């Protein structure tokens, strides 16, 4: 048991429990807070995987901006209490079926990952992933996707404004 493995196991347990909390929570606010906890643990996992810049982005953009938007909309709509209709769906067989299919998907994904993607390169080199290296990649080989992403964000802004505008 290396220290890395102990930290990983602790973080993995926290993130899985947070995800299950999101799944079972009766209150939308609590569900959003569980998701923020999950994002924070994944950010620490990014740090362990030698991606410090991504970890910061994860906390500031995902756990910060996106989840604030979620919480804002939940409170704006006053929809935090999940109504009784949530529990008594008309299709009773749906929940066990979903859990069964999910377990099947997990077994499949685990099998494929373990059997097909477990070989390592001959000489894995440690990556430098500071802001400078990320910036060189972003404005070098990935310049066109970067520009297309900026157009996508502009379209999203305009779409959100048009959709929520009062007639």
Partner 1 sequence: MNSVSPYVLLSALLFTIGVVGVLTRRNAILIFMSIELMLNSANLAFVAFAHQWGQLDGQMFVFFVMAVAAAEVAVGLALIVTIFRSKKSTNVDDLSQLKG
> Would you say 50 and 127 are in contact if contact means Cβ atoms under 8 Å apart?
yes
Single out the residue of 6, 10, 50, 75 in contact with partner 1 (rule: CB under 8 A). 50
| Contact flag: residue 84 with partner 1 (CB under 8 A) | no
Query: What residues from 20 to 49 belong to the interface with partner 1 (CB under 8 A)?
Result: 20, 22-23, 28, 31-32, 35, 38-39, 42, 45-46, 49
- Residue 122 exposure: Cα atoms within 13 Å on the Cβ side: 0
SS3 content of the chain, % helix, strand, coil (to 5): 75, 0, 25
| Contact flag: residue 144 with partner 1 (CB under 8 A) | no
Residue 81's φ and ψ, nearest 5 degrees, are -80, 115
> Would you say 29 and 70 are in contact if contact means Cβ atoms under 8 Å apart?
no
Task: State in angstroms the smallest separation of the CB of 39 from partner 1.
Answer: 6
Question: Among 57, 25, 30, which residue's Cα sits nearest to residue 43?
Answer: 57
Single out the residue of 66, 75, 132, 143 in contact with partner 1 (rule: CB under 8 A). 66
Task: State in angstroms the smallest separation of the CB of 129 from partner 1.
Answer: 6
Cα distance between residue 147 and residue 137, in whole Å: 13
Single out the residue of 75, 99, 132, 143 in contact with partner 1 (rule: CB under 8 A). 99
> Would you say 67 and 42 are in contact if contact means Cβ atoms under 8 Å apart?
no
| Contact flag: residue 90 with partner 1 (CB under 8 A) | yes
Task: State in angstroms the smallest separation of the CB of 76 from partner 1.
Answer: 7
Task: State in angstroms the smallest separation of the CB of 3 from partner 1.
Answer: 14
Give the contact letters, 102-141, x = binds to partner 1 (CB under 8 A), - = no. Answer: xx-xx--xx--xx--xxxxx--xxxx-x---xx--xx---
């Amino acid at each position: 048991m290396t220290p890395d493995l102990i930290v990983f196991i602790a973080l993995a347990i926290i993130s899985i429990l947070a995800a299950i909390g999101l799944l079972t929570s009766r209150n939308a606010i609590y569900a959003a807070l569980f998701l923020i906890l999950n994002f924070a643990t994944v950010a620490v996992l990014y740090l362990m995987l030698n991606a410090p810049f991504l970890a910061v982005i994860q906390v500031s953009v995902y756990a910060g901006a996106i989840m604030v938007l979620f919480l804002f909309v939940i409170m704006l709509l006053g929809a935090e209490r999940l109504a009784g209709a949530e529990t008594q769906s008309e299709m009773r067989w749906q929940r066990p079926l979903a859990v069964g299919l999910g377990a099947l998907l997990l077994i499949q994904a685990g099998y494929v990952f373990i059997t097909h993607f477990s070989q390592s390169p001959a000489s894995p080199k440690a990556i430098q992933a500071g802001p400078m290296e990320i910036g060189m990649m972003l404005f070098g080989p990935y310049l066109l996707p970067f520009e297309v992403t900026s157009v996508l964000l502009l379209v999203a802004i305009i779409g959100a404004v048009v959709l929520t505008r009062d007639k």
